[in-house]
Amino acid sequence: MRFKGNRIITGEAAAFVAALLVIIIWGETFVSSKVLLDNGMRPADIFFYRFLLAYICIWFFSPKKLFADSWKDEARMFLLGIFGGSMYFLTENTALSYSTASNVGILVSSAPLITAIAAAFFYKDERMNSRQVGGSLLAFVGMVMVVLNGKFILHLNTLGDSLALAAAICWTFYSLILKGTSERYSTVFITRKVFFYGLVTMIPYFLFISPLNPDPAILSHPQVYGNLIYLGLVASLICFLVWNKVVTVLGTVRTMNLIYTQPFFTMLFSYLILSERITWMAIAGALLISIGMFFAERKR
């Protein structure tokens, strides 16, 4: 994605479409992770295999530079690996063990509102106007509608939904740190470091909490390795590369606002694959999220 001169509008449109495609894929990953959990895999194992596959593959076209230009920047890469890697996926996938794929997808979608509030304090160019604030709040209300509906229909779980909210906060930190880093390093280099530090920061978990479980009987199942390949190559490698690039084009808050559309796709895939129930209140809440996102996206 390279944009010059008067082509900036076309570039932003392409970035918008690319980000939306990533959201659609990520909306389905909740379902793929749920399938893996149902087949005996644990959240930490899912994260390890998908990031390991992505990290191996990215070396084929990544710059061979090993470290950032300074230790301060290397520390930023380390934090990106934690908040966008190990901590985020561990809380998200663990949430799927206790809550439904729809609930987790919706709560993780609160990340744009959290990011918008946090970005206003750290970056002046990311502050929203009154229209954007109103749109974000409207989208948040829509999300609450769906979650409240889940309390009666979708079986709201305190632990699972709290972990999903923690994942949203992790993604907020990732997005804020990424904004200050993407101006000095290539997207491929940053993405590779995210995969590396995401894997490294999982070592203490495997050593002291729960060892990695490379069970051949589980990994050899077509439904398992098929979903792992999809999560590793498509949802991790390709989507992280595209998302990190889009943030440099649209900005942190505008890109994050697109996550509000994720409940549409999560609920759709949950219904088609997991047979999870969708009610009219959930649909109305998702539509309200979309309307709010439309106003939050527009600066004028």
pLDDT at 14: 86
Distant-in-sequence, close-in-space partners of 191: CB < 8 Å, separation ≥ 6 = 58, 62, 237, 240, 241, 244
How deeply is 220 buried, as exposed, middle or buried, from its count of CB atoms within 10 A (0-12, 13-18, 19+)? exposed
Contact 296, 117 (CB under 8 A): no
Measured in whole angstroms, the distance separating CA 46 from the mean position of its chain's CA atoms is 15
Q: What sections of the chain are H helices per DSSP?
A: 8-38, 43-58, 71-81, 87-98, 101-108, 111-122, 130-152, 158-181, 187-200, 203-208, 216-219, 222-229, 239-250, 252-257, 262-273, 280-297
pLDDT in tens, 137-195: 787 777 667 656 555 545 667 888 889 889 989 999 998 899 888 888 999 999 999 99
Q: Which residue has the tokens 């990031």?
A: 51
Structure tokens at 20: 């939306």
Structure tokens at 76: 């930023």
Contact 145, 81 (CB under 8 A): no
Distant-in-sequence, close-in-space partners of 86: CB < 8 Å, separation ≥ 6 = 47, 197, 198, 199, 201, 202, 205
- The whole-angstrom separation of Cα 180 and Cα 174 is 10
- The whole-angstrom separation of Cα 298 and Cα 236 is 29
Kindly give the parts of the chain with pLDDT less than 70. Answer: 1-10, 101-102, 105, 123-129, 143-144, 146-156, 296-300
CA atoms within a 13 Å half-sphere pointing along the CA-CB vector of 59? 8
Contact 261, 112 (CB under 8 A): no
CA atoms within a 13 Å half-sphere pointing along the CA-CB vector of 191? 27
Structure tokens at 42: 């644990």
- The whole-angstrom separation of Cα 174 and Cα 166 is 13
pLDDT at 95: 85
Count other C-beta atoms under 10 Å from residue 184's C-beta.
13
Q: Domain-by-domain residue ranges, the chain? A: 7-297
- The whole-angstrom separation of Cα 67 and Cα 162 is 35
